[in-house]
A and B are shown apart, each in its own frame.
Chain A
């Protein structure tokens, strides 16, 4: 799955539009993921996952920052997320299937906040981008 020039510009446009709300989107993405896919909670036994949790907000901020970083370095996502890729492979070892779930929830957040932004073409590009991020983060698993 390769990002073509259209995909890259669509993704940059999305993150440009989201701007400073990225942190909020990150937190809501996690909230939705824990609600829609409860098995994902197994990776956070040390967190308070209740509504409005500061830990979830804080973690959402981190997740969003990584997505923004990847979008800003979309020509070399592997390079931009190399340290995160190491972290996931060596320490976190989140099963690869969960990145799709996170990606789906991010799409839902974008769709619910900005329906007009998520045209079918942009939807396709963003989905490809999120897949690419997941692939990079699991690239060193074995």
Chain B
């Protein structure tokens, strides 16, 4: 089980309170699809992904991004049981959607840059460490059902 120090928990929860899951989620997913275009392979049914402008404005991207970040919110409330929290999502992503776990890591990296752009100096190196740890642990939990 992952150990979270009091400081890490505080850095994570403190920042989370200042963010809009909707806005950050939409932005993170859009950037994932723009910066690493091969990730679009999982979103054939999302409609127009033909350009960065199309991706950023795509309502399905925004909606899915929001969903993704909302589940991060769940993770933050259950830091001591991420495996349990993500068990159904892991089944979905691995058994049904067949997502290479590398994609969870890519999204995690993108999310960290989005947080930095929203929080500026407040996104200290210590915050970056805590959030990088969080995205890594979430990625791991999601990948547990991978073959």
Interface residues of A (CB under 8 A from B): 31-32, 34-37, 104-105, 107-109, 111-113, 115, 118-121, 123-124, 127
Q: How many inter-chain residue pairs (CB < 8 Å) link A and B?
A: 59
**Contact between B52 and A111 (Cβ–Cβ < 8 Å)?**
no
A12 CB, min distance to chain B CBs, angstroms: 19
Instruction: Flag whether B35 is at the interface (Cβ < 8 A).
Output: yes
CA distance A113 to B113 in the complex (A): 11
Q: What 0/1 readout, one digit per residue, does chain B (47-90) give for beta carbons within 8 Å of chain A? A: 00000100110000000000000000000000000000000000
B120's contact among A35, A36, A104, A113, by CB below 8 Å, is which? Answer: A113
**Contact between B113 and A118 (Cβ–Cβ < 8 Å)?**
yes
Instruction: Flag whether B125 is at the interface (Cβ < 8 A).
Output: yes
CB-CB under 8 A from B109, the residues of chain A are: 104
Instruction: Flag whether B144 is at the interface (Cβ < 8 A).
Output: no
**Contact between B35 and A35 (Cβ–Cβ < 8 Å)?**
no
Among the listed stretches B15-23, B91-99, B126-134, which one makes contact with chain A, having 4 or more residues with CB under 8 Å of it? Answer: B126-134
CA distance A113 to B116 in the complex (A): 8
A99 CB, min distance to chain B CBs, angstroms: 14
**Contact between B126 and A107 (Cβ–Cβ < 8 Å)?**
no
**Contact between B132 and A115 (Cβ–Cβ < 8 Å)?**
no
